[in-house]
Chain A
């Protein structure tokens, strides 16, 4: 027993060392990437992008399920985005509330029979509507089939070569589309481009526009602000730098439609449809030996509502983790497979060993601490030092992300807001992180294949 505990403790020690080395590498790569991204903004004319003919037209897909409170404001905000030519395709995925009725009234929708190419299979489309007020709005009413199925219906009906999927509870900044489409113009091998997502809770929003960016007042939402900063400012930046980005957030990503269709569109029988599509794209591009790039731009920001209560957050985190497991199982033959380059050799193993199995290691680690103390394998002082080091490193990563944000984007204006962020980056190590790990741990045991329901999220009207 003691030998087992001892070896497990060594394992934990080296595991933590390995994980921290990976994160440190991301941090360093991200500093470089953000520096380049900031410099690029100084010699790129977004005005040219609006005025000149080379900006590709874009379809904005807005899947919605029971979104009658926010959908109209959201669509109105989308209509005022700075972009040359675009259409908005709203997909009502069998909502049980008044989403369709609200849309019909707000935009004076007319039913219309449009023959479209069914390039990806979806649940039955009950009707297609166009607005006789706004020519670039199209609404698809379909039987409920989950978010991925809704997005696939949007892919079938949309007409432009690029599409972006934007959650109905999210708001994107005025120039965000221009910024996120820029990689497609710079580099013809770009097939997907993603931007940063940040929590909108607490900010002042008026009719779909962010009037003032503020930190959330809710504690859980504040922890998530720190988490999102860390995940986007160096997790995704780091992977993008080596073209092994595995997730482009479902809330905000632009795709080359042809490549997405070739990859089979969104997978309907998974809950992690965003990650699944990106992995499928990596996979087919590698298999077809095509040159490609999955880009990430830290500056364009999509603001989204994050859960403010424990139950919703728990569901969300469990869903995300189950989605990750789904994708890993679907693409298990990529793991350590040199045919898939850095994706097979680094990215997928990282997601398996650190993201997917991390909660198991961490929880067992917590369980082993009392045993280690009881059997005298370690002493209390050692345990405390070890925990303090883990916490200290977590704080370092969070403050690093906050610092990167302050150097580059300065989204939060007040000094007090940054102080609060630092405080929450310390506090998150003392309960929140463990709770989140516990939810992900449970998700592993609750995991069932082919579960694709929409997540239950208590949507709120934006604060005015």
Chain B
């Protein structure tokens, strides 16, 4: 019994047909690949020469600010490569330099090109154009950018915000912050990174943001106070350590970590109340903060925290104690005899690491303390031989 002869014939005809199509497609793909490769090879060689030339002249221009170092690109490929090179080195160029380079690239044409792309229906072209506008500092596109800020596309909102900051610094920062506080459009680290790109004093904007009823923006502002070391943030940090949301309390602590050792009793006391916070994530940041605040109260708080039920809190408390100078060291040496196994192990680890990485024994001025350490650890200068 055969495989149904007519059926077999029909299948065979189909197979032959598909096979021929396959052969054609494969030959077409091969020719496409070959021609693409030949074209790429030739254009890469040509591009490389032009690119090297522009990179060299742009580097000299950045170093000397002498316009004569730059030759005006005339051909399509040259203009394209020049544009790409400017984008590549844009972070080394100030506004005036970019303006001069734009003029070399036939400013009007370029602006029209970018504006057209920003209005494109293709989301990728739009995003690329927005990014390029920021890199080369095209101010004329700001109205379009402000419209794009209302988009629901997370990436587009991020790139648009970045471009607005690159072009106008803090001018539209409030618009950006208000936008990103709505609809979960941006993650906090990305928002902080954006604000961090702004040059100059932004305390007034942060003050306004802290008065807004948005915990998301409040948290960002608190962290920025720390990153930029604005002491104007102290009053807000003091207030926010009592916030019901742990994320805001953590941001307050991050702000405080950035500010460092501020000797203001009321402020420190407010922060130390968080050492017994119900959330371990908050307590971890208290331990991290105490690496920066060096006093007897910090040491006694850390001695308690190194016995915390949570591992991360204990770990950070151990690391913070060694930052407390000789008193912290004394405390760590005493912890080597603690009944708490973890506190003992942590103290041991921290002391060993300090010996290996930072030549601890050689750094101790107090002979008695050095001897005590050597006696307790029963070792010589580990890592210092």
Contact = CB atoms under 8 A, between A and B. Distances in A.
Contacts of A185: 187, 189-190
Interface in A332-388: 372, 376-379, 381-382, 385-386, 388
A422 B33 contact: yes
Contacts of A378: 3, 8
A47 B197 CA distance: 13
A186 B159 CA distance: 11
Interface string B337-354: 000001001101100110
B329 to A, nearest CB: 18
B38 interface: yes
A445 to B, nearest CB: 30
Contacts of A388: 19
Given A52-B193, A53-B192, A188-B187, A418 B131 contact: no
Contact of A403 (B33, B125, B192, B346): B33
Interface stretch (B20-28, B202-210, B237-245): B20-28
A54 B192 contact: yes
Contacts of B3: 6, 9-10, 372, 377-378
B196 A399 contact: no
B8 A382 contact: yes
Contact of A112 (B127, B128, B130, B353): B353
Contacts of A377: 2-3
B314 to A, nearest CB: 9
Interface in B238-270: none
Given A53-B192, A415-B34, A112 B356 contact: yes
Given A389-B18, A396-B26, A406 B12 contact: no
A186 B348 CA distance: 40
B38 A415 contact: yes
B12 A422 contact: no
B124 interface: yes
- The A interface is mostly helix, strand or loop, or mixed, namely helix
A89 interface: no
Contacts of B227: 53
Contact of B346 (A39, A43, A115): A115
A135 interface: yes
Interface string B124-154: 1101101110000000000000000000001
Interface string A378-422: 110110011011001101100110110011001001010011001
A2 interface: yes
B2 A407 contact: no
A13 interface: yes
Interface in A1-52: 2-3, 6, 9-10, 13, 35-36, 39-40, 42-45, 47-48, 52
B19 A392 contact: yes
B33 A406 contact: yes
Contacts of B131: 42-45
Contact of B29 (A42, A186, A379, A399): A399
A98 interface: no
Given A385-B12, A403-B36, A406-B40, A130 B189 contact: no
Contacts of A419: 34
A13 B11 contact: yes
Contact of A39 (B15, B40, B124): B124
Nearest to A421: B33
Given A382-B8, A385-B15, A396 B383 contact: no
Contacts of B11: 13, 382
Interface in B69-100: 91
B37 interface: yes
Given A112-B353, A130-B353, A403-B33, A392 B348 contact: no
B41 interface: yes
Interface string B26-66: 10011011101110110000000000000000000000000
A330 interface: no
Nearest to B188: A54
A53 B196 contact: yes
Contacts of A376: 2
B1 A2 contact: yes
A458 interface: no
A50 to B, nearest CB: 11
B127 A389 contact: no
A357 B172 CA distance: 60
Say which size band chain A's interface belongs to.
35 or more
Contacts, number: 130
B356 to A, nearest CB: 5
Contacts of B4: 6
B178 interface: no
B33 A402 contact: yes
A463 B240 CA distance: 59
A40 B155 CA distance: 10
A413 B45 CA distance: 11
Nearest to B1: A2
A218 interface: no
B33 A3 contact: no
B69 to A, nearest CB: 24
A114 B19 contact: no
B194 to A, nearest CB: 9
A188 B158 CA distance: 14
B212 interface: no
A275 B132 CA distance: 40
Contacts of A464: none
A54 B189 contact: yes
A415 B345 CA distance: 61
A117 B356 contact: no
A363 B277 CA distance: 65
A219 interface: no
B40 A410 contact: yes
Contacts of B41: 413, 415
A287 interface: no
Nearest to B38: A415
A369 to B, nearest CB: 13
Contacts of A42: 128, 131
A381 B12 contact: yes
B296 interface: no
B382 interface: yes
A105 interface: no
A418 B33 contact: yes
A396 B189 contact: no
Contacts of B22: 389, 392-393, 395-396
B153 to A, nearest CB: 12
B11 to A, nearest CB: 7
A158 B22 CA distance: 51
B124 A36 contact: yes
Contact of B128 (A9, A39, A130): A39
Nearest to B223: A53
7 contacts: A385-B12, A389-B19, A392-B19, A399-B30, A399-B33, A400-B29, A415-B37
Interface of B: 1-4, 8, 11-12, 15-16, 18-19, 22-23, 25-26, 29-30, 32-34, 36-38, 40-41, 91, 124-125, 127-128, 130-132, 154-155, 159, 187, 189-190, 192-193, 196-197, 227, 311, 342, 345-346, 348-349, 352-353, 356-357, 382-383
Q: Closest 5 A-B residue pairs measured CB to CB?
A: A43-B131, A115-B345, A54-B189, A39-B124, A392-B22
Interface of A: 2-3, 6, 9-10, 13, 35-36, 39-40, 42-45, 47-48, 52-54, 110, 112-115, 117, 130, 132, 135, 185-186, 188, 372, 376-379, 381-382, 385-386, 388-389, 392-393, 395-396, 399-400, 402-403, 406-407, 410, 413, 415, 418-419, 422
